[in-house]
Amino acid sequence: MKHTVTFDELNHTYTRDDGKMLSGVTGILIKYLFTDMYTDVPAEVLSAAAEYGSLVHSQIQMLSGGFPPADELPEVTAFKELGIDIAESEMLVTDGENIASSIDIVDTENNLYDIKTTAVLNREYLSWQLSIYAYLFEQCTGKKANKLSSIHLRGDNAKIVEIKRIDDAIIKDLINAFVSGAETFTNPLKAVSVSEEKLLAQVVEIESFIINLESKAKAMKSQQQTMKDELKRIMDERGITKWETDSLTITRKADSVRKSIDSDLLKTSYPEVYDECLKETKVSGTILIKIANN
């Protein structure tokens, strides 16, 4: 008996017509191959990224259905410039028994695309994801999947990145491991190690969180300086040099001239003296964050 599978977009679940819940591809990959992919990313960052990514997907789906969104996101505008001849958007593919997922875009030449809005593409993950999609697509349609690609959207930048397909035999082994309830699956394509690409992906996933914190810190520092300048003005006007309460003490330090040694001049004029006066101090390493246009 052939079953019908329904996708619940709100809860992101796949359900068969007999009530059986099917697993999505993401769940399988996280369980067996990318178990710690999001371990070091704050939950609020993941949530914000997922929410925005869903909004981009939704607008592209509306666009492909002939309903251009009113407040078009820059990613959607950039996507249109790619000129993809869309045959289906959010195409549901399934084995009918255990697995179901939706392919973001299938074009008229049966090329499969997955849309990503992350700062860096995890090509290894995409290779597995799209290879499973291709396998299910061929099972469902009887058609041969052509090229596998990611549509990488970041603001008003868009590009198509071709992704390597994994052999069907390996994909079948992964699916069989899931269906049989196996605890682990040994990836035959690489040794177990932490890749630099994955580490970089984890860092860039928190970029928006860092930028937000840095912006808030800058704004608070500016506000603090404005407040200090105003306090200084008031204290000068009233001749107050110190103000104390139960919570804090404000002291107005008088203007002064600070003298210091011009180390560059000393080094140039008296190099031997400069060398004799040098001392070494151990300094702990730090992280330097510089935000573009900031």
What digits encode the pLDDT tens for the residues 44-79?
777 788 888 889 989 998 888 888 888 899 999 999
Q: Can you say whether residue 12 is alpha, beta or left, with left for phi > 0 and alpha for psi between -120 and 50 degrees?
A: left
DSSP state string for 169-224: HHHHHHHHHHHHT-S----TTS-S---HHHHHHHHHHTHHHHHHHHHHHHHHHHHH
- Residues in the chain, overall count: 294
Taking Cα atoms as reference points, which of 105, 78, 73 lies closest to residue 89?
105
Q: 159, 83 in Cβ contact below 8 A?
A: no
For the beta carbon of residue 226, count every other beta carbon within 10 angstroms: 10
pLDDT score at 183: 93
The 10s digit of each residue's pLDDT in 140-179 is 999 999 999 999 999 999 999 999 999 999 999 999 999 9
Q: Which domains does the chain have, with CATH numbers?
A: 5-205 (3.90.320)
Structure tokens at 52: 């925005």
Give the pLDDT score at 208. 67
- Where the chain has pLDDT below 50, the residues are 192-193
How far apart CA 30 and CA 41 sit, in angstroms, is 15
Q: Do the Cβ atoms of 75 and 104 come closer than 8 Å? A: no
Q: For the CA atoms of the chain, what is the radius of gyration?
A: 29
